[in-house]
Structures are given as structure tokens and as C-alpha cells.
Structure 1
Amino acid sequence: MAILVTGGAGYIGSHTCVELLSQGNDIVVIDNLSNSHGEALRRVAEIANRSFPVYIQDLVDREALRTVFRNHDIEAVIHFAGLKAVGESVQLPLKYYHQNLMSTMTLCSVMEEFGVRRLLFSSSATVYGMPKQVPISEEAPVGAINPYGRTKQMIEQMLDDLVCSDPRWSIGILRYFNPVGAHESGRIGEDPSGVPGNLMPYIAQVAVGKLKEVAVFGDDYDTPDGTGVRDYIHVVDLAQGHLRAIDKLASAAGIHVYNLGTGCGYSVLEMIRAFERASGKTIPYRVAARRPGDIGACYANPNKANAELGWQATRGIAEMCADAWRWQLANPRGYAGSVVYAEPI
């Protein structure tokens, strides 16, 4: 029996694969490598000292996906695959709606065909839109404000409808806050294409000399230092949350929604200063105007995941920054300098 991991070459997917393998699980990975690098999978196998089957294909290809299910005894699926850049989704909304929705519909259809009804879906705190209060609990109203977030919200609704139609399904929805950091080995980490859209990899690239300075968008929010506050969670804590959730689904039918965050918020300036301490580098920054749609503070109430999954984030800001710096320093060009991975591991 194996767990199918879609999008397993991605940032969160690769770290989750390491945790799954380290706990003795067999895995099968599907990834089309559209916004990830196959070298990450080779390094996952290296870290875990275990091989696993990999299929380089797109989830919207139903026949290719059916072949995977024929070839392997799949017991559950962790679904990371999807397009994920908020800014790009605004520019290319149809691309995002097609890829994210169609891939999930195809996956669920093929799972149903093969009698596999345990699914863990990678959602996002973006479904909450502009929250009226923090910390944000799972009961807070949803209202995504960009196409990326709306695809996550639509998929959540689709999965809820699926469970209503067939109560044999066990589906978990994990709403991430802001994943940061890297594996302690420095072998796998966040490798954004082009200019990073997230704060931590941007800071890291400034520290390593790839970028000139960090733009701080707004310093007049109602926060302790005026800059935006977010809930940053170490990617390994996040990955371990997936293991707890997939185990729970083995004995819990229905649909279950969990926030995965620390419950603490750090400001942009706090993150810059923490990274300076971790790297020993000065991080130049400039204050810019607020971006449309940005909010002052956004952080999780993670109590439900603590209570029902027995999970909580344990790594603090210092470890997040130290691990991100170790990865960036060892891989200044990300996976780009590595041999291109092409064949199944």
C-alpha cells in the first residue's frame, strides 16, 4: 500500500515526502514539473535513503493517471499539485481555474473509480480573504479575493459536495498560513521561479547578493512596528502536520478542515532582523506604498489541529531563518545548477 503525493517535487510536497518516507511509508509521486524541479525528488531519496516511483505527468491527463492507479496499490492521496502564484493568477485567471479545478476533478474521479476515498487537500489561508478578526479560526467566513485563492475555495466546496454525495469519503483540508524555512540538511528548500513573490525567499536572496533590497509594503498598519504581520510556519512542522492528518483520515470519514499555523504573528521588520541574526548579513530595505488587498495582520488559531491531530508547530523564528539561510547559502541558484532529473527514481 502506498500514499500518492501529487506535486511531490514542490516546496511543501518535497518536505512532506521526506517525512512520509522517514516514517516508513511507501509513496508514489506525480508532478508535471511546471513550477518545480525534479532534482528535489532525487534529493528527497538521498535524504531518506529510500527510492520511490515518480511519474512526470499532468493530473488532467486522465488515462495517464489511471495507469498510476493500475500500477500501484494506492491507499490515500495527498494533493499538492496546482498553480500557486497569487500575482500570476490575477494576470492569467483562466489558466489557474482550468489547471487547479480540472486536475482536482480528474483526480477525484479516478480515485473513485479505483475505490480510493482518503484525500488530503493542500488549501490555503487565502480562502479567508480579508479577515475581520485575528487569530483566524476554521469557522471564520471564507471569501478569497484573488483567482488563486478562489480556486482553493472552489475546490474546498467541491470536496464538501463530494462527501455529501458519498459519506464513505474521508477528506482533510489543510489551510496553510506562511510556510518558510527548509530541511535542516540544506538539501531541499524553497526554489521560486524568477523574482520571489514571498517574503522569506526574497530576504534570503538579498542576503546572498542576488537581489538589491527588500521592499516593505507599508509601514503605517495598526501593528507594533507599522509593518504587516503574518503567521510564518516552518515547512517541516507543516509537513509533519500532513502525516498527522492523513493518519486521522484512516479512521474518520467525512470532511475535516484544519488551520496549520503557529498562532503567532511576526512583522516584516521582525523577519528581516531575525534573518540578519541568522545570516550575519545586513539586509537593506526600503519602505514602499501598501499593495492593494494587503491587510495589517493575519495569523491562525491552530487549536483545532492541536486538539484533533495532536499536532503543533515547534520551530521558532530563529530556526526558520537559520534553515532558510543554510539552504540559500548552499544553493544560491536553487536547483538550477543541478543535473536535470528525467527518469523515475
Structure 2
Amino acid sequence: MAKKILVTGGLGFIGSHTVVALQNSGFDVVIIDNLSNTTIDVLNQITDITGIKPDFESIDLRNKGKVKSFFDQYEVEGIIHFAASKAVGESMHKPLDYYENNLSTLIYLLQEMRDRKLDHFIFSSSCTVYGQADKLPITERAPVKKAESVYGNTKQIGEEIIQDSCTAYGINAIALRYFNPIGAHESLKIGELPLGIPQNLIPFITQTAAGKREVLSVYGEDYNTPDGTAIRDYIHVVDLAKAHIAALKRLIEKQNKNTYEFYNVGTGTGSSVLEIIKAFERANGVKLNYKIVDRRAGDITAAYADTTMANKELKWKTKLSLESALKSAWEWKKKQE
């Protein structure tokens, strides 16, 4: 049996785009997803894009026995771990759910890697590990601060668990600290499709533009930024997916300098919420109905990346523009209506 790359959460937004990128790079893929924030239709959409149907297992990774059974069945060359709950606001109201889902699943995967002498682990981390950084843009040398949200804390703790596992068991791992992924695949067959009320800005924008939401809530206008709204680094999800391929190849080809490495993955440019709204309106010729509301618990003022390390070590950099990401997000949304 050929070795495969396991992608957990592989039918989610970032996961599905990464599966496509993996297949286009010649990798065999097996997906684990419990369909808690996606649908099985995405599997067929991936197949339509690449012409290859990935293996798929519907497993809740919190079930340790099923995780073990999976590894009894499949021999994998590497793991890209996306599966996690990811809403900052929700995490503040459901902390125990977030700690259980985001940490127990990680531990069970790493235990199987230890017990079976497996290697090559890519972790879906987040710029939230930096909290509100003292200096912008944020470099990898920035201190990891006390997390502003439970979600952010699960990413911090997750990285610590991985680092300790690498030291103790000789596993090689890379954590990619994402900034804010947006957009959709150029085929418009996969994109961001949150179930229920969106927790991220762009799907809320597209749902408002489509008339599904009456008004777009902008959380806070009293931040210490030029226009008072929070600033983030928005990266096209297709560019982000390719960073995972670069990281995986680095481990497989033994190019990594340490058993545990971490990289910022963003564009290096910060945009405020109001700037994103205006850019979306310009790119797509639509007007958005929005209102300013109170700040949201757990949100920071500003975060955008210094990507020098990823550019140099992973030989990766973004190629797609903010405008193309916003256009693809809107075209994707219209196709869903």
C-alpha cells in the first residue's frame, strides 16, 4: 500500500484547499473529518477539481479507539492537522468544549505517531499565539503572550505539546501560524462555507451582500488604528494551502534545521475591517449595509505578519492579491445561492 498524507479536517475551508494542493503535487491523501462544520459534498468537489477521489474516513478524533483503528488500517507518511474548533467568540463561551476538541485530538494523533514511529507533522496554528504583539509586523521572534481567547490558548498549548513531543520522541514537526485566510479556489468548487452564523469577517460580508444577513456587524470603532477598526492580515486560502506543501516537503526531504519549527504565514500587509469592506465593494461593485457594534471579547487591535522566515526557509511567498481573494469569495457565495 502506498504511503499517504493524512489530512484531518480535510473537508473544511483550509483543509479542502490543501488536499487539492497535495493531490496536484503528486501526494496520495486520506481525509479524516467528522463533518461538524462542513458537508460530505466537499469530497465530490475536490474530486471534480483534481480528478482523484481522496480516501475518506468519517471519524471524531476525540474517540481514541477510532483514532487507533485508523492507524491500524492506514500507513501514512505525514499528517497535516487542521481538525479543531476555531471561533474566537464561541471559544470564550464554551472553553471546556474547545480544550477537549482542540487538545485531546492532538494528543491522540501524537501518541499514535510515537507508538508507530511515524514522522512529519504539520500543525495548523494561528497568529493568535502572539496576542497583541508589541511590534508590527510580527516576526517569529515575538514573544508568545498570554492568549486573549480560549481558542488562542488552545493553539499555544498545542504548540507546546508538539514541541515537547518532538524533543522526547524525535518527531519532526512544523507549526504554521496563519493570519486570516479568505477567498475560494479558482474553480469555485470549494470555498468558505460555515454552518450557521459566520464567525469570520468575509463570509459575514458575502452573506450580507447576498441579502442573507440584514446588516454586517463591525465589532468596535475605538481601536488604536487609523480608522478605529481592527487590523488583520488577509491571505488568499490558495496561497496558504501551498505553504503546507512547502512545509511538508521540507520535512520529508529533511531540510528542517530543528525537530520543531514554526513560521508565520500571511501577506505582510494589514487591512482594517473598514478597508476590507470598501475593498470588497470596489472589487465586486456592491454596497454593504454595516453598523458599528461593541467590541467582541477576545479580539486584539492589530496583527499582520513579517513573512521573511517563511519566504527564506520554506521558499514560499504569497502570489494572489487581496482583490482576487475578495472577488473569488463573492463569486463563490453567489454560486451557492
TM-score, L = length of structure 1: 0.92
1:111 matches 2:79: no
2:168 match: 165
1:15 match: 17
2:61 match: 59
1:178 match: 180
1:130 match: 132
- SS of 1:122 mapped into structure 2: strand
Q: 1:320 aligns with which of 325, 333, 336?
A: 325
1:307 matches 2:309: no
1:294 matches 2:265: no
Deviates more, 1:5-14 or 1:108-117: 108-117
The superposition leaves residues 308-331 of structure 1 with CA deviations (integer Å, 9 ceiling, x where unpaired) of 001111111110111101110001
- SS of 1:258 mapped into structure 2: strand
User: Could you tell me how far 1:92 is from its partner in structure 2?
Assistant: 1.2
Q: 1:145 aligns with which of 127, 148, 159?
A: 148
Deviates more, 1:213-222 or 1:6-15: 213-222
Counterpart contact for 1:62–1:110, Cα < 8 Å? no
The letter for the 1-side match of 2:232 is: R
Q: Unpaired runs of 5+ in structure 1?
A: 333-345
The letter for the 2-side match of 1:153 is: Q
The letter for the 2-side match of 1:236 is: V
User: Could you tell me how far 1:224 is from its partner in structure 2?
Assistant: 2.9
User: Could you tell me how far 1:200 is from its partner in structure 2?
Assistant: 0.7
Q: For the aligned residues, what is the CA RMSD?
A: 1.4
* Distance in structure 2 (CA, Å) of the matches to 1:149 and 1:221: 20
Taking a change above 3 Å as real, the CA distance of residues 282 and 72 of structure 1, as seen in their structure-2 partners, is: same
User: Could you tell me how far 1:276 is from its partner in structure 2?
Assistant: 1.2
Q: 1:247 aligns with which of 246, 249, 256?
A: 249
TM-score, L = length of structure 2: 0.95
- SS of 1:259 mapped into structure 2: strand
- SS of 1:112 mapped into structure 2: helix
User: Could you tell me how far 1:42 is from its partner in structure 2?
Assistant: 1.4
Counterpart contact for 2:12–2:38, Cα < 8 Å? yes
The superposition leaves residues 269-296 of structure 1 with CA deviations (integer Å, 9 ceiling, x where unpaired) of 1111121123221111122233344333
2:224 match: 222
Q: Percent identity?
A: 45
Q: Unpaired runs of 5+ in structure 2?
A: none
Taking a change above 3 Å as real, the CA distance of residues 60 and 292 of structure 1, as seen in their structure-2 partners, is: closer
Aligned pairs, number: 331
* Distance in structure 1 (CA, Å) of the matches to 2:297 and 2:330: 30
- SS of 2:305 mapped into structure 1: coil
Deviates more, 1:220-229 or 1:11-20: 220-229
The letter for the 2-side match of 1:133 is: K
User: Could you tell me how far 1:221 is from its partner in structure 2?
Assistant: 3.0
